[in-house]
Structures are given as C-alpha cells and as structure tokens.
Amino acid sequence: MNSKKLTTAQALIRFLKNQYVRRDGIEQPFIKGVWGIFGHGNVAGISQALHEDSEMPYYLCRNEQAMTHTATAFAKAKNRLQTFACTASVGPGSTNMITGAATATINRIPLLLLPSDIFARRNVGPVLQQLEYPLSQDVSVNDAFKPVSKYWDRINRPDQLPWAMLEAIRVLTDPAETGTATLCMPQDVQTEAHDYSIELFEKRVWDIPRNRPDEGLLSEAADVIKGSEKPLIIAGGGVHYSEATGELQKFVESTGIPVAETQAGKSALPHDHPQNLGSIGATGGLAANETAEEADVILLIGTRLSDFTTSSKSQFQNPGVKFIHINVCSLDAHKLSSLPLLGDAKVTLQQLSGALGDFHIDSKYGEVIGERKERWEQEIDRVTNIPSIDKLQQPNVLRTVNEAAGKESVVVCAAGSLPGDLHKLWKAYEPGGYHLEYGYSCMGYEIAGGIGVKIAKPEKEVVVMVGDGSYLMLSSEITTALQEGIKITIVLLNNHGFGSIGSLSESVGSEGFGTNYRFRKSGSGQLEGSHLPTDFVMNARSYGVEVHEAKSYDELRESLDTAIKADQTQVIVVSVDKTQKVPGYNSWWDVPVAEVSKLDSVNKAREEYENARKKQRDYF
C-alpha cells in the first residue's frame, strides 16, 4: 500500500481540499477554505498544516463565533453546495463556536468545526484551559458541542482520522442530515505523524441526489390537491437549497395556487409575482395570513415549520385542513401530521405537476387572491410612508434602503425588530435576494453573515441591516471585511436598546423592563436614566471604514448612493423611532404570560394570552 507520513493536521487539510460535490452533473470543491484564530492548541497543528499547504485558503477573523456565522452564511448563499471549515484554540476559543454550531444545525446548513482539545495523553493534565470533570477524564468542554452537532467525534489517535473525516463529510453533504459536523482535535494528536494511505487524498466526489417521493403517496397528494377549494403553498428554505425556484414558479402559474413565504423561503418567487402573497405566520402579512386561516389544503415545501411560520400552531383555522409536505428530511416532512412526500423539492414539484394534469384553482378563489394581494400592496405602501415627527421611522428607512439597493441586491439580517419588518415589507425579486438567519435568530450574525454572502456572491450588492443591539455584540468583523477587501454596505439602525424584546416585554405586561440602553438612575435599582451616549459613527470609523450619518431621508438616500457606488465597506448610521411598530396581521406568537401578578398590565396581558391560546391546534 502506498502511504505518506503526515501529521494528523496535515492529513486533515490534504483530505479536505480534495472533497467535491456534484449535483445535476455540476462538480465543485466542497470546502472553500478554513477560517480560524490560532492559539494554544492549534498553532502547532492545524496552523502549521495550513501554513505548509498554501492550496487551502486561510481566513483570519476577529471572533470565533463570527467565523462560524460567516461560514454558515456562505454555505446558505451557496445553497449548501459549499462550506468552510473553522478552527479555534483550546477552551474559550473553541467554546465560542458553540453558538455558531447551533445556528447552522437549526437552520440545516453544513458547517465543519475543528475545535482544539486537551491532550489525548493524560500525563500532562490538567493543562491550561482544561475542564476537570470528576466522573471521567474523557470529557472536555468540547463535549458541549454534542447536542448542537449532527455529527461529533474526537480524534484520540492519528489512525482514527480517516473514518471520522469520511463520516463528517457524509453528514455535511446529505441534504436530509446536514448541519454542524464537529471533529475535536486534541493538541498533541494534531502534531503526531502516521503513515496515511495515498488513496485517502485522492479526489473524492460526493453526489447530492435528487430523491423522488413514493409514487403512491405522490398520487394521493395529487388527489388531495384536486379535491381542494382553497389550496395554499408555503415555500421554505428547501425551495432555495434544491434550486427549485424556477419549478415553483412554473407550478403556481399552471395551477394558480398562491404562495406564502417563510423567512428562509422568501424570494422563492419575485415579490411582484401575482401568486406571491408574501410573508406567512407571526411575522407574516395580511394576504398570506388571511389565506392560511381558511385554506383547506396546504402544500408545504422545504420548511421546518417553526412556531413563527405556524403562528404557534394557530394560523390554520379551517377545521378540515390537510397538509402535504415536500421535504428531504423525514422529521420535517411528518410535522403537522402531513402527508409526507420525502424527496427533493425540484423533482417532486415536477412530478406533482404531472400528476395534477390540468388542475387549476377556481376563478372565484383566484379573484379573492388577487384582491388580497392588491390590498396587501396598498398596506405596504401605507406602512412604509409613515409621517415623521422627530425621528425617522424604521419602515420608511427599510423602503428607502430597498429602493436604493435595487432588485439584484441581497439583504442580510438576523435578530431584533428588523426581521419581522423585513419579512413583511422588503421586496425581493431574485432567488437568494433575501438572506435572514431566523432559525436561531442569532444576534451578531449580521455583519459576519454579510461577509459570507459577499464571498459567495461577489457580483451582488450586499446590504446588512443591523440594530444597535446586535452591532454592539459583534461589530469587530468590519475589520475582517476591510482585511479581505470585501465590500458590504452596513445600515445600522439605532433605537437605543432592544426594540424587538422591548415590544415583546410590553405585550406581556412587563413595560419594556431591561430593554433600553440607559444609565442607572441614582438611588434606583432600574435603568431609568438618560440614554447611553454611544457614538456609533466614531465607533464604526475606528475600524478604518467610511461612515455616514443620516438624520433625514434625503441624507439617507445620499448616503446610500455613495455607499453602493463605493469599493470598500461602508457604514450608515441612522437613528430611528423605537415606539413606531409595524402591525401584526392575523397572527399570534405563543409567549407565556405570568399567571398571577400585582401589575394590571400583566393581568390584562394574561387574559389576552388565554383567549389567543384557544385558537391553537394541538392535535398535530
């Protein structure tokens, strides 16, 4: 057997650079590169291997959590056909990646993590940054990755590496299983050498299949749709990952069935398409939610059916409603007691279209759909043209940014009040033009995620929408964008606190407690003083990028025009009114309210909560 003596880390990098994926005959490398911060635990192992092997690109970030967000955003923008690996040092460097691991797994996005670990040999322990667990010496802080990983392993000997790598890539490239794969790398094992078979490093192509559903279930699904009077499609992220947006458009144009979009599914159809009713669920719009309430058959496509999509299982009020679910993942396909069509969205839509023949919705239902879409467009226009008094209004700002960015741009966001407003109000016209991380809604994802999207789509204008809360958590990646010559436009909306949770706090009767950025008032246990004087313009400028401050809509338009034409990352700071809210539309989100309280506001909220729960469907 031909072999080559390599360290475990050298073998790892050599293996990763020769992994490819293929779908529809198109082949491409699977691992784009490695993000990392070197330190105790990987500086002599993976760092040395990357330094020696210049064919595998290395990217330096400022925060370990941030690099996982960049990698996740990149993989999502690439429809899960490419991803990055991320390496970190022992202890806090590695555990900083746990949040990112959960983000990728919850969103069904491939992410390879290489956290450094303590010594596999025990004679030197406890070492710096080692957790001493009294019940076993085989436990380290990296065991915390287990519940947030789809595959987890620890390489305790160099000869274990091949089997672990093959399993990790198998999971990452499986559309039904993908998420975070974690390979824990003890610092001594990284540097130890082994005679690895040359065959291990040959080019390996992993096929991404387009699985077909069971023929009997497909025929049954077609019969259910044919017998419907008010069918509705809910498009999820799987429509994008399958690259099925074209098939979806053909399907709805031949059947007339309207479409509602989840956060991950938004931009599956152009905003102005006649069948696109817009956002669904707790952050949904009027047209989609009205239609969902009365729909008798709902065709779900590639959605994990979070509580935001289903309005905590209260959105679907037709007593006889039936669900059909096209999904590659059995767990998701069976939710809501759906008729499961386990298969790839693109080919399943093709087959279902054939099985439906000349089926088309009733003309009266089509007229209702048209009227609802028209009313919703009018409502969007009303909400995004709110008269300003003292401060700029967030919905108006979104419209201004949307128009300036253009139809071929990509908007990136993740947390706060922005995702709800964007889901309702942002007009996306191209597949992938709307990039929201809303499975985990992870604060801090925005700027790092924007970098990942721009790497995936360098030809696109990438606009990052971020609130002051998320910005303060992870603004450091502006430096990474500057370092890599990556141009993104960051629109920072400052409302002096946590706008989304402030609203939620008010809705449960807690009056916005703890959600404003204010000084502690003298003699009080509360943060009730004046606003903190954070200078976001000065802060962003300190990273070395050009910063604009917009105090009027005219200044905002001028700033956007300058930023979009620029070659380097730009930041636009806009102060907005925290009190102005976009309404909810025929939806609800289950957030429990205290059952007893001395506050009237809480008691009133509890009464409203109990009434709202009566609409929940809990039998599925």
- Span 87-113, pLDDT tens digits: 999 999 999 999 999 999 999 999 999
- Residue 514: what pLDDT? 63
pLDDT-based confidence at residue 532 (cuts at 50, 70, 90): confident
- Residue 195: what pLDDT? 97
Residue-wise pLDDT for 115-141, tens only, equals 999 999 989 888 888 898 998 888 999
- Residue 533: what pLDDT? 79
Comparing C-alpha atoms, which of 111, 300, 81 is closest to residue 209?
Answer: 81
- Residue 336: what pLDDT? 95
Report in angstroms the alpha-carbon separations of 394 from 397, 420, 429, 434, 580. Answer: 5, 11, 21, 18, 8
Assigned CATH topology for domain 3-207:
Rossmann fold (3.40.50)
- Residue 488: what pLDDT? 98
For range 394-416, the mean pLDDT? 97
Residue-wise pLDDT for 580-613, tens only, equals 788 899 999 989 998 898 888 889 989 988 999 9
Residue-wise pLDDT for 152-197, tens only, equals 999 999 999 999 999 999 999 999 999 999 999 999 999 999 999 9
293, pLDDT greater than 90: yes
- Residue 531: what pLDDT? 76
- Residue 356: what pLDDT? 98
Backbone angles phi, psi at 497, to 5 degrees: 150, -160
How far is 51 from 56, CA to CA, in rounded Å? 9
- Residue 524: what pLDDT? 66
504, pLDDT greater than 60: no
pLDDT-based confidence at residue 389 (cuts at 50, 70, 90): confident
Dihedral angle at the C-alpha atoms of 267, 271, 272, 275, nearest 10 degrees?
Answer: 70
- The two counts, helices (H) then strands (E), for the chain are 24, 23
For range 247-260, the mean pLDDT? 98
508, pLDDT greater than 60: no
220, pLDDT greater than 90: yes
Place of tokens 């540097």: 191
Q: Who wins on pLDDT, 515 or 150? A: 150
Residues in CB range of 606: below 8 A, 6 or more apart: 509, 593, 594, 595, 597
pLDDT-based confidence at residue 506 (cuts at 50, 70, 90): low
Comparing C-alpha atoms, which of 255, 210, 209 is closest to residue 345?
Answer: 210
**pLDDT mean across residues, the chain:** 94
Would you tell me which CATH number, out of the four given (3.40.50.1220, 3.90.1150.10, 2.40.30.10, 3.40.50.300), belongs to the domain 215-377? 3.40.50.1220
- In the chain, residues under CATH classification 3.40.50.970 are 3-207, 389-496+532-575
- In the chain, residues under CATH classification 3.40.50.1220 are 215-377
570, pLDDT greater than 70: yes
Phi-psi region of 25 (alpha: psi -120 to 50; beta: other; left: phi over 0): left
526, pLDDT greater than 90: no
- Architecture of domain 389-496+532-575 in this structure: 3-Layer(aba) Sandwich (3.40)
Dihedral sign from CA coordinates of 131, 136, 142, 144: negative
